[in-house]
Structure 1
């Protein structure tokens, strides 16, 4: 078989795959996102960590969505998404470097809502934290007490009921400090016009009875987007140096304004025992539908997100670590290519 015949056969085989999938009504949507930044990091306390300039991944990923109609009004759905830490040349999350899967879920979707099982984005994050998680660098999303995704979880999202919607999640063995207790989340939201208000509960359980309550607001006025959230811990912990301390609060206010291909962003936050005073400023330039350039400045009063070069959560900096670098500031610029 000559080279042209081999190429023709390969192309024909590749074209046959979606044709077969369509015949069986099974649909796949493959996607990916390459996100890399150059950063200059300056910790406030350089006794434990010097200033540095380096390259860091900003949550690159690759994956697919799939769906298959089971009957009228009921569809089987699934998703698999892997993290790609391009700076470290590894299949891992750049923050939680022990995590090699972002999303692996399967479920059903119909008129009664959506049921999912697996590792997934959790309802509390989607309703409470996501409205202010709008930045493009690695440092986006740290100004919250909750986690983004958990494995061994079951979730339910209700259909929209005249603007109202509910969500519930049960997560096996992902309770306080990753103990064996189950984790439970419940959220409710109401949308009217260009405004959405949401409330949520994230019950970590455990011996200290740790529960996180949250409230969020999202509002759009033309090219201006405003987001805000408030979180508070309720627990039996009475130690200001311990995560989950009773009464600790996280408060965020975000504003984003789009002008042509540019979006200007500002967030100020106060997150007790995890960053304290935080300022995050940035600009995105949408060069084309697939390519975005971004530049950001990030400041935290105490250590929450800053680590060693290309490091992650396992590096052990922060409150109670014994080597607190007391926060600092970051200048970062990079690009994001979606495919």
Structure 2
């Protein structure tokens, strides 16, 4: 019922604001896999939704060269039973754009999370980099700033308010260079840092580039638990290669003695639709190893 209500509101907004708004878009994607999973207690089959989502985003031209922007996005799970936990909030904010850059307030991915670009070839799946690393945070009570590009460089900042009397504020910073889609430039790079985000400090460096048709990427990360001071280091290497309608992908990630390796392939059925398969295996030092084999379909709208 809640999902139907949200969709009704979205459709109503699209009708009411079309005349006034500069632009308004209803968008989303459905990504579902059938997978065989083994997390240490035996293999089992399951159907999983991988960050399927829908949202509304738009902008509105103001005076003095300003533009109002907004986004309301929710994650949905078409593979799970219908209940109040089926819908989760994702990025939801309002903000202003101008010659100064972009400033938003609400719930937003941190600067460090956004700095990864598209290096993670298995994002939203079992081998998403958050499987081993801290720093993949979407924070409430966030004020986020993104500067205009200057000679290819852009600065991103996130400030997370305390929200409680005995809590501390937190910050995330990133400096990025190039186009993370590798369409306008042949390489992308970033350095980023979290301070007290979800109890961790983290530093991350990222690079991705194209050689012929290959997309090659690498990331380095150091993270520290604020309360204990415990540090951990890791690195990631990824590769992708398009072959007609196919794309072949591989990725390797570590954090100290923990490591994961993934292999996969995508096949385009159309501009917004693909089928895919992947295998991921994790070797953990302090917990049970895990393996996953999946096939799935994704459609964007």
Q: Same fold (TM over 0.5)?
A: yes
- TM-score normalised by L of structure 2: 0.84
The residue that corresponds to 1:296 in the other structure is 278
The residue that corresponds to 1:54 in the other structure is 46
- Report the secondary structure of 2:235's partner residue: strand
* Counterpart pick for 2:118 among 96, 119, 131: 131
The residue that corresponds to 1:311 in the other structure is none
CA distance in 1, matches of 2:192, 2:217: 16
1:60 to 1:181, Cα distance in 2 relative to 1, 3 A: same
* Counterpart pick for 1:42 among 38, 41, 47: 38
The residue that corresponds to 1:189 in the other structure is 176
CA distance in 1, matches of 2:169, 2:104: 17
The residue that corresponds to 1:223 in the other structure is 213
CA distance in 1, matches of 2:13, 2:44: 51
1:77 to 1:90, Cα distance in 2 relative to 1, 3 A: farther
Q: Which runs of 4+ in 1 moved over 4 A?
A: 14-18, 234-238
CA RMSD of aligned residues (A): 2.8
CA contact (8 A) 2:196 2:226 kept: no
* Counterpart pick for 1:168 among 157, 160, 184: 157
The residue that corresponds to 1:152 in the other structure is 141
Give the drift of 1:217.
0.4
CA contact (8 A) 2:76 2:87 kept: no
1:245-260 matches, within 5 Å, as 245-246=230-231, 248-260=232-244
CA distance in 1, matches of 2:13, 2:38: 54
The residue that corresponds to 1:115 in the other structure is 103
- Report the secondary structure of 1:55's partner residue: strand
* Counterpart pick for 2:24 among 16, 24, 28: 28
Consecutive unaligned residues of structure 1, counting only runs of 5 or more, are 1-13, 239-243, 304-318
- Report the secondary structure of 2:133's partner residue: coil
- Report the secondary structure of 2:265's partner residue: strand
1:290 to 1:235, Cα distance in 2 relative to 1, 3 A: closer
- Report the secondary structure of 2:88's partner residue: coil
Higher strand share: 2
Residue 245 (structure 2) pairs with residue 261 (structure 1): yes
CA contact (8 A) 2:135 2:197 kept: no
CA contact (8 A) 1:205 1:211 kept: yes
Structure number with higher relative contact order (C-alpha < 8 Å, ≥ 6 residues apart) = 1
1:41 to 1:337, Cα distance in 2 relative to 1, 3 A: same
* Counterpart pick for 1:200 among 192, 210, 232: 192
The residue that corresponds to 2:296 in the other structure is 334
The residue that corresponds to 2:4 in the other structure is none
Give the drift of 1:22.
4.4
Question: How many positions carry a matched residue from both structures?
Answer: 283
1:185 to 1:236, Cα distance in 2 relative to 1, 3 A: closer
Give the drift of 1:32.
1.7
Consecutive unaligned residues of structure 2, counting only runs of 5 or more, are 1-10, 180-184
Give the drift of 1:291.
1.2
Structure showing greater Rg: 1
CA contact (8 A) 2:38 2:292 kept: yes
The residue that corresponds to 1:287 in the other structure is 269
* Counterpart pick for 1:103 among 71, 87, 91: 91
